[in-house]
């Protein structure tokens, strides 16, 4: 009866994962969806701890002190990190948490292979079928099919790549690690990946006597590959890399579900892996680039060359008073949020500006580029935190149809997603990437701290166009001063 109850717990948890994921698709239900999925995960964890029994643990689990100590420590660390994180650091936190998931999957593989350590491999007969199996320590024990070793190796390789790559992505996002590449690096990566696959296949297919040595070599090579896989990738490609690594973690977790025959772990891993893969495809589509081009092209790396160093000309500035007058007497304003808005933590002040302009009869909308910020949906999360009405957020395709009838576009810290070089300069690294066509509006006001290039390291030709005026300063301070000026108009 207890096994049936545990199975029911797993079924309920799997359903909550699906329902929660569905609810995450809309900002109004996302918070509740997160809670529903978390409740399901809690049920699955508690059910496993108190109800799990099998031939290896007929009396159930007993090491409760270690289990709950781990849950308590991890829960405290996770809660403190999530509560204290600033919106500017949210992409790093997501990347780091994702890496921890990959590390857990890799640790599961390491532990399970440890149970098979010092084994010899031989051909034996199991249920009248001749097959390659592991036999522990050359003694007669329950054989372990080579399919189990395949799952262990998949979890190890994918989890290790996800962990190492996510840590590098975390370092790149917070500025601790710079983009790094060298001639022939992509060839080296492909060779390393090929050797990794061949060595894993050798362990599975030929069953060498010294399997442990080869296994830990695979582990080391997977970590190295994860590092060099992400190191050369930078700039606007980071949202794609984060979603791709997220899908890796999901697949690695699903391998753990196969390994333990745990339905809820398998379901959760498949959902994360599928969602991450679909998101990666959508991100690539939004950038008009194939996944291979993202991984091999090193988007935003120093080899962007000519576009970075090209002299663009002169730009003009606009005063706060003039900007206030132009905006107060406009009929329609479009706000383009970018990473600079997150850096300044100015989303709440931006919402105040929106409400003030709306009270004056101005139609205000937000134009959202799919890869704006440092992670998928970064701007949506940022504005949702400030309680901006979701109906005011326009996707790129819809926003581009509105710019021609827009009086003023206010660009807040965005750079690469509004760069006309994506359409006009074939030598630019971002050439071909769909952008927000802000230049179609009557007036463009760009708020930046300085004229430094954006995250992709590419100069923006928009800043030197006749209809563009620069409004320098910290986004939060500028918006606060702008609100004060508009109130006096």
Q: CATH for 306-488, among 3.40.50.300, 3.40.50.1370, 3.40.50.1220, 3.30.70.330?
A: 3.40.50.1220
Computed over its alpha carbons, how large is the radius of gyration of the chain? 26
Among 56, 387, 391, 416, which one carries the catalytic annotation?
416
pLDDT tens per residue across span 78-119: 999 888 887 667 788 888 999 999 999 999 999 988 877 654
Residue 122, strand partner residues: 133
| Average pLDDT in the chain | 83
416 is catalytic: yes
Rounded mean pLDDT, 353-377: 89
Please provide the DSSP assignment of 196-220 as one string.
Answer: HHHHHHHHHHH--TTHHHHHHHHHH
- A 10 A CB-CB count for 420 gives 16
Task: Give 275-325 pLDDT, tens digit per residue.
Answer: 888 888 887 877 777 777 666 655 444 444 444 445 456 888 999 999 999
- Report the pLDDT value the prediction gives residue 303, as an integer from 0 to 100: 43
Convert the pLDDT of each residue in 232-269 to its tens digit: 876 667 778 888 899 999 999 999 998 888 888 999 99
> CA-CA distance, 240 to 430, in Å (whole number)?
14
Say how far residue 279 (Cα) sits from the centre of its chain: 9
pLDDT in tens, 14-58: 999 999 988 887 777 888 999 999 999 999 999 988 888 766 666
pLDDT of residue 359: 93
Q: Average pLDDT for residues 326-350, to the nearest whole number?
A: 91
* Location of structure tokens 């107060």: 328
- The C-alpha atoms of residue 392 and residue 306 are separated, in whole angstroms, by 38
For the chain, the residue count is 489
Burial 65-87 (b: 16+ CB within 10 A, else e): eeeeeeeeeeeeeeeeeeeeeeb
In which element (H, E) is residue 395 found?
strand 393-395
In angstroms, rounded to a whole number, what is the distance separating the alpha carbons of residues 456 and 37? 36
Tens of pLDDT, residue by residue over 375-394, are 777 888 888 888 898 889 99
State residue 444 phi and psi, 5-degree precision.
-120, 125
CB of 360 within 8 A of CB of 398?
no
Identify the band that residue 144 occupies on the pLDDT scale cut at 50, 70 and 90: low
Portions of the chain given CATH number 3.40.50.1220 = 306-488
User: Could you tell me which residue, 190 or 115, shows the higher pLDDT?
Assistant: 190
């Amino acid at each position: 009866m207890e096994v049936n109850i545990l199975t029911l717990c797993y079924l309920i948890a799997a359903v909550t994962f699906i329902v929660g994921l569905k609810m995450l698709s809309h900002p109004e239900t996302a918070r509740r969806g997160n809670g529903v999925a978390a409740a399901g995960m809690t049920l699955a964890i508690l059910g496993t701890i108190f109800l799990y029994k099998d031939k290896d643990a007929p009396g159930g689990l007993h090491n409760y002190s270690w289990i709950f100590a781990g849950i308590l420590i991890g829960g405290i660390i996770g809660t403190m990190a999530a509560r204290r994180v600033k919106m500017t650091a949210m992409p790093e936190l997501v990347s780091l948490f994702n890496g921890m998931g990959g590390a857990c999957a890799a640790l599961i593989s390491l532990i399970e292979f440890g149970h098979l350590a010092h084994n010899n491999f031989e051909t034996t007969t199991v249920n009248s079928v001749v097959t390659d199996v592991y036999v522990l320590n050359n003694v007669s024990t329950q054989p372990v099919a080579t399919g189990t070793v395949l799952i262990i190796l998949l979890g190890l390789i994918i989890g290790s790549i996800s962990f190492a790559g996510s840590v590098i992505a975390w370092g790149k996002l917070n500025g601790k690690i710079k983009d790094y590449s060298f001639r022939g690096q992509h060839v080296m990566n492909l060779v390393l990946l090929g050797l990794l696959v061949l060595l894993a296949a050798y362990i599975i297919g030929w069953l060498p006597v010294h399997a442990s040595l080869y296994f830990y070599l695979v582990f080391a090579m997977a970590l190295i590959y994860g590092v060099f896989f992400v190191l050369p990738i930078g700039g606007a490609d980071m949202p794609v890399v984060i979603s791709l690594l997220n899908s890796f973690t999901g697949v690695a977790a699903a391998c753990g579900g196969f390994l333990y025959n745990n339905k809820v772990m398998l379901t959760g891993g498949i959902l994360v892996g599928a969602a991450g893969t679909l998101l990666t495809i959508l991100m690539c589509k939004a950038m008009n680039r194939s996944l291979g081009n993202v991984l091999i092209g090193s988007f935003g790396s120093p080899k962007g060359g000519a576009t970075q160093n090209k002299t663009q000309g002169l730009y003009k500035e606009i005063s706060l008073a003039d900007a206030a007058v132009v905006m107060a007497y406009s009929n329609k304003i479009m706000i383009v949020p970018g990473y600079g808005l997150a850096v300044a933590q100015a989303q709440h002040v931006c919402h105040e500006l929106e409400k003030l302009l709306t009270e004056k009869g101005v139609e205000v909308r937000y134009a959202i580029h799919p890869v704006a910020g440092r992670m998928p949906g970064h701007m949506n999360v940022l504005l949702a935190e400030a309680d901006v009405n979701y109906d005011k957020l326009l996707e790129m395709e819809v926003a581009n149809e509105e710019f021609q009838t827009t009086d003023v576009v206010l660009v807040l810290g965005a750079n690469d997603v509004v760069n006309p070089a994506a359409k006009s300069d074939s030598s630019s690294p971002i050439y071909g990437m769909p952008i927000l066509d802000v230049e179609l509006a009557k007036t463009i006001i760009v708020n930046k701290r300085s004229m430094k290039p954006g995250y992709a390291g590419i100069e923006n030709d928009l800043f030197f166009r006749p209809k563009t005026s620069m409004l320098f300063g910290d986004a939060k301070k500028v918006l606060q001063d702008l609100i004060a000026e508009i109130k006096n108009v």
